[in-house]
Structure 1
Amino acid sequence: MSVGLETTNILVLGKADNLHQQVLASFPLCDATEEDLTQNPHFSKLLATLSQHVDKSGLTVSLKTELDVAEEKLQNQKRQWLRSESLHRGLHEMIQEFHVRKQNTTVPPDQNMFYETMERSLRVTQCVRQLDPSSTTRQEQPSVLGLTPQQVTQLLPSEKNMQRMKQALPRQLEKHLKEKCLRLLSYYQPEWENDSEALKTNKLSHLSTLLDKEKKRTELLREICRENTVLLQRQTQLYLSELLKCVQLLQTLILDHRLKIQTDLDSKKLDYFEGKCELVLQKIKTEMVEIQLETYSPDTISAHRKIREKLEGELKACKAEKQAVESNLSSFEILGKAFEALAEEYCKLRQEIDMKNWALKELTKYNEK
């Protein structure tokens, strides 16, 4: 029976094709997409069933009711505390303003008595509360300096001054709060500062309504901002996934076509550099010819060319002779150490023959003289 009821609820919730959108709207904090729900239909049905029992924050209906009741009690306690705290701070502000005014102007005796009585009463009351915290903490604490609340209470002003202060206090407090509210009104709308007091009072009665509207508008904008943030996160995730696919496709294109394009590019670069080198060589030759023409005359250049040709011919002949001698020397070295001894003896005999020939020439020159 319960299974059939849940199935009916799911069909009612998602009787159209927008079931996934309704599930995502019911769980805005769930980091899931329509693609995830399409690939997992059972999980989508589970979320659709849960949406009947929980709210957008993930709390159950009963827990949400208890939370609302506790929140209401907490708000009531906050209002009570804020009311008493506001009155207490208002009294202290009145005392501070009195002391400042007393330093600048002369204060009437009745006001002086009123503020001194109120300040003294507040101090004594605060001391009594510190000495006897049982009314707030329900705990007994040791006394401070051996004092008791009854001893401190004796420091209160006289009954007559207390009665006068209590009679004038509502009027003075109302005046102070009104001035404070008017300052708040001027801060909220500075253009109303120059209006009359009656008009300000009239506008002040509508200030709470205006602030309430502003608060609701702020909460609405905050909720819209939160929804836009969730939507932006989803769109960012989709964008990143699509961007990753594009990057992978681009890498594939680069890997497939880069080698072909690189080969054509390298061949074109090679042709370009070959042409550039040829151009540079021709330019160098032209510069060399120009330098020769500027340095030597045509006849000198022709003579240098002939000399160069002759020297190159002699160099070629010397290289050939050197090669032949080296070839003969290598063939002699093959004969070994025995030939080396003969070669040394031949060198000695050659030297002796040269010496005797020189001596014979010298002797012949001497005889001729």
Structure 2
Amino acid sequence: MSAGPESSHVSSLGKGDSLHQQVLASFPLCDMTEEDLTQNPQFCKLLATLAHHVDQTGLTVPLKTELEKAEQKLHSQRRHWLRSESLYRGLQEMIQDHCVRKHHTTVPPDQNMFYETVEKCLLVAQCVRQLDPSSSINQDQPSVLGLNPQQVMELMPPEKNVQRMKQSLPRELEKHLKKKCLSLLSYYQPEWENESDGLKSSKLSHLSAQLDKEKKRAESLKQTCRENTVLLQRQTQLYLSELIKCIQLLQSLILDHRLKVQTDLDRKKLDYFEGKCELVLQKIKSEMVEIQLDTYTTEAVSAHRKIRQKLESELKACQVEKQSLELKLASFEILGKEFEALAEEYCRLRQEIEMKNWALKEFTQYNEK
């Protein structure tokens, strides 16, 4: 029984690709793609059904209505606060302008009295507001400096001055606000600065509508920018997924191609290096032959040959002598340790004989001199 309404909702949204597009349009803040909806059809149906009960931000219809009422109430209170705040700021600016003007030019006494009265009234009103506890503050809280609003109200200017100030205030405030509006107009459209006052006043009456129009245009551009951003994110995700697939396909093709040609490539590299090595060896041999030809001439070769023959003959004689000495040494070693002591004694005696012969020779040479 419950499947009937859901299917009717889904069919009302569309089928296939159109359903996916409408679901994505109904939930722009969700990070989804058409591929996700295709792989999860039941989830797609759930979102299609849910789109009839919530808006693009995810709020339900009753909650959206309550939110709009709260926003309207907030806007109304904000307008009321802005009206009071702008009036207060305007009066403060008028007082500041008067103080600056008073230091540069002579100001009439009645104008001085007007601005002093306005300043005192604002100061007293501000103090009364600070001293007057609201409903959210404990009534038993001690007052500032022990003062109450009635005591501060006694500091108000005389009633005559206040009444005179109230009569002149709308006119002076209108002048000040008109001056600010003209400054705003000159800032918004600098080319209108040299226009006449009447033309400026006419254009000033249309400035609010024009600013409101541009504000709506800016909000429309922001909304378009947000939509384009969401669309760009989806296209980027789609592009990246397709790019990853292409890269994977390219990697597989490269790997297959590399495996096929790697053997031939290695064999060709091996043949190349073998040929290059052989060439280097032949070059080394040729260089060695050239060095030998430059170093050894015919005369040098014959001389070296004679030297070699002489050295070989001397080597043979030394080897024969070595063999004879080794035989004698072997015969001596047969006699044992007793002969070793006799040999040492013999060596000692020979050394003494040589020393005495040397001394005798030196002595004979000395006597001859």
TM-score by length of 1: 0.77
Separation (CA, whole Å) in 2 of partners of 1:164 and 1:307: 145
Identity %: 70
Structure 2, gaps ≥5 residues long: 324-328, 344-369
The structural deviation recorded for 1:157 is 0.8
Structure 1 residue 51: Cα displacement: 1.2
Counterpart Cα distance in 2 of 1:230 and 1:156:
60
Range with bigger deviation, 247-256 or 179-188: 247-256
CA distance in 2, matches of 1:205, 1:121: 32
1:345 match: 334
Displacement of 1:222: 1.3
What aligned pairs does 1:1-369 form with structure 2 within 5 A after superposition? 3-14=3-14, 17-134=17-134, 137=136, 139-140=138-139, 141-291=141-291, 298-300=297-299, 303=302, 344-345=333-334
Aligned partner of residue 146 in structure 2, secondary structure: coil
AA partner of residue 272 (structure 2): Y
1:71-103 CA-partner distances (Å, limit 9, x unpaired): 111110100000000000111111111111122
Give the drift of 1:155: 1.0
Given the superposition, is the C-alpha separation of residues 94 and 286 from structure 1 closer, same or farther in structure 2, using an over 3 Å criterion?
same
How far residue 24 of structure 1 moved from its aligned partner, in angstroms, is 1.2
Aligned counterparts of 2:215 and 2:307: Cα–Cα separation in 1: 106
Unaligned runs of 5+ in 1: 326-339, 353-369
The number of residues matched between the two structures is: 330
> For the residues of structure 1 that align with 2:211 and 2:254, how far apart are their CA atoms?
61
Query: What secondary structure is seen at the aligned counterpart in 2 of 1:127?
Result: helix
Read off the aligned partner of 1:45 and give its amino acid letter: K
Partner in structure 2 of residue 360 of structure 1: none
SS of aligned partner of 1:145: helix
* CA distance in structure 2 between the partners assigned to 1:224 and 1:18 by the alignment: 22
- Report the Cα distance in structure 1 between the residues aligned to 2:73 and 2:31, rounded to whole angstroms: 34
Give the Cα–Cα distance (whole angstroms) in 2 for the partners of residues 132 and 62 of structure 1.
40
The TM-score normalised by the length of structure 2 is 0.77
> Which letter maps to 2:132?
D
**Following the alignment from structure 1 to structure 2, what is the Cα–Cα distance between the partners of residues 308 and 35?**
96
Change (3 A) 1:197 1:139: farther
Deviation at 1:34, TM superposition (A): 1.9
Taking only aligned residues, the RMSD between alpha carbons, in angstroms, comes to 3.5
User: What letter is aligned with 1:231?
Assistant: L
1:283 deviates by 3.6
Q: How far does the alpha carbon of each residue in 1:216-235 deviate from its partner, in whole angstroms, 9 at most, with x for none?
A: 11111111121122222222
Q: Where has structure 1 moved over 6 Å in runs of 4 or more?
A: 307-312, 340-343
Following the alignment from structure 2 to structure 1, what is the Cα–Cα distance between the partners of residues 126 and 251? 77
Q: Report SS of the residue matched to 1:53.
A: coil
Q: Per the alignment, do residues 260 and 42 of structure 1 end up closer, same or farther by CA in structure 2, a change over 3 Å counting?
A: closer
